[in-house]
Amino acid sequence: MRVLFWYSSSLLVCTVVVFASTGCKRNTEPEPARGPDATAVVGARCTDLARAKSPSNEAYRPLIAYVFRDKQFDPRRFDKLTNGQKTLWATLEIDGEVNNGGFNQYFFNTNGQRVDLAIAGFQAFGAKEKQMLATRARDMWKTDRERLSKVRTQGTIQAFMESYKGEPYKQLDDAWFKLGDEETDAYVGAHPSEFCIH
């Protein structure tokens, strides 16, 4: 079971709510060839990033179509992204999940798989408040992991909704909701070669 409203700040990308999906298109393009010196295999064009109102969203959009195969996250394709693209993915993934359903939803859906990468990304992007909040949430989750695992095992919407009782992440969620994406956009705009196809 996966409960997710995929949202990246101001960019609505795809909605997936418990076994159903709307708006995700399967990428039917063939796998790009990669050599030992390859850079980005997929991504926005650098000129598009330079003109974008939100460079981070512009850089992220093509990654979704590439990494999601048959409406599922494909770790092999994720591994083919550049380090900058992986970091951007992790930061926008946590941002989208938390903005939609709080840290409870983020850890329920991702099992914290890329939380450390997101924290490192926020540090690199200069988003110190998001870095601090994500770090605190990760530390709380380490003791909360078993509870969310049991909820996931139940596999029902009711169990997921009941997982919000006591709102263990509420203070962190409320602080996160007040933050924007200015640092991430500024970083992506200033370092487009880490995120785009030349």
Q: Is the pLDDT of residue 99 over 70?
A: yes
Query: Which token pair is 154?
Result: 């139940």
Q: Which of 47, 64, 190, 173 is nearest to 125 (CA)?
A: 190
Rounded to two decimals, what is the model's pTM?
0.78
Mean pLDDT of 85-111: 95
pLDDT in the model for residue 150: 92
Cβ(4)–Cβ(110) below 8 Å: no
Least confident residue range of 2-11, 15-24, 150-159, 167-176: 15-24
Domain boundaries, given as residue ranges, for the chain: 3-18+40-197
pLDDT band at 24 (very low <50, low <70, confident <90, very high): very low
Tell me the C-alpha distance between 106 and 56, whole Å: 20
In tens, the pLDDT along 123-143 reads 999 999 999 999 999 999 999
Is the pLDDT at 174 greater than 90, yes or no?
yes
Provide the CATH topology of domain 3-18+40-197. A middle domain of Talin 1 (1.20.1420)
Strand arrangement of the beta sheet that strand 11-17 belongs to? 3-8, 11-17, 20-22
